[in-house]
Amino acid sequence: MAIEIAGYGLEEPLPLLGLSLWNIILFLVVLIVGIAVVKIFTGAFKKWMIKAKITEILAEFSTRILRMIMYIFVIGTALAFLGIEIGAALVSVSVVLGFVLGFALGDTLSNIAAGFMVAITKPFKTGDFVTANGETGTIKNVGISVTELDTVDNKRIIIPNKLVWGGNITNFTRHPTRRVDLEMGVGYDDDLDHVIKTTMSLLKADNRVLSNPGPQVAVKEMADSAVVFVIRPWVKTEDYWDFFFDFQKALKQKYDEEGISIPFPQSDVHLFQNK
């Protein structure tokens, strides 16, 4: 018994289209089921990569590329049921598109290639605090063509991957510890040994300062109006900024208690009167 839809059999060609309802149904089924399968498969593929301890950036990048390739395959297979053979067409059209895309999508292809290199070399991961292409912030996402980061004042910066890969990248949170570099000037009349002892005791009293490597306090230079000391403690990366601000306040208060002067910039002016 022949099945009819809207007065037409499944094998009977439709007006204008020259296609049977059966072809159209198969096209829709393959397209819908194929898209669903691609989403399920690529989702499982990404979970497998992350479970295999592959970085999230590389897993996300690889999954997007695989998803694009599979979508092209699904669409090509579905179009075949409409009598559109894309295999031979792709061979002839790809030559022409190769030249066109090479010029029209030059920057896009460069960004994709740079994104692949970022995913492979792993100069940073999601959540790292970095400076890339002159912009500083926390990495939120590395896409196929762009990298997204949030600044400390909560602005979203989007940088093309070729600019990220083509410039210097500074990763502030790659290592578990960081050195804090501070400078402090004291008066020429102050006892330098007392300054060093006072500063070192304050450092050792702060439990955020690491003992290995130990902190350093040393004279850097004899400046115009002060003897400049460098203060170089090591702290955990997550403690860096809290310590940076807290210690300078504590150091000023401690110097005041110990009678250590912090001189203002000054200069001697000599006036001469012409006779």
The answer to whether the CB of 83 falls within 8 A of the CB of 19 is: yes
Residue 100 has pLDDT above 70, yes or no: no
More confident residue, 31 or 183: 183
Distance CA 100, CA 235 (A): 54
pLDDT of residue 105 exceeding 80: no
Distance CA 135, CA 241 (A): 19
Tokens of 198: 């006072």
pLDDT of 225 higher than 50:
yes
What pLDDT, in 10s, does the model give residues 157-189?
A: 999 999 999 889 999 999 999 999 999 999 999
SS3 category, 217: strand
Q: Are 124 and 117 in contact (CB under 8 A)?
A: no
Mean pLDDT across the stretch 95-99? 53
> Would you place residue 86 in the very low, low, confident or very high pLDDT band (cuts 50, 70, 90)?
low
118-170 pLDDT, tens per residue?
888 889 988 999 999 999 999 998 887 889 999 999 999 999 999 999 889 99
* Residues with Cβ within 8 Å of residue 233, at least 6 apart in sequence: 179, 180, 203, 206, 209, 210, 215, 216, 243, 247
Tell me the three state secondary structure of residue 8: strand
pLDDT at 180: 96
pLDDT > 90 fraction of the chain, expressed in percent and rounded: 45
Lowest mean pLDDT among 2-16, 45-59, 118-132, 150-164: 2-16
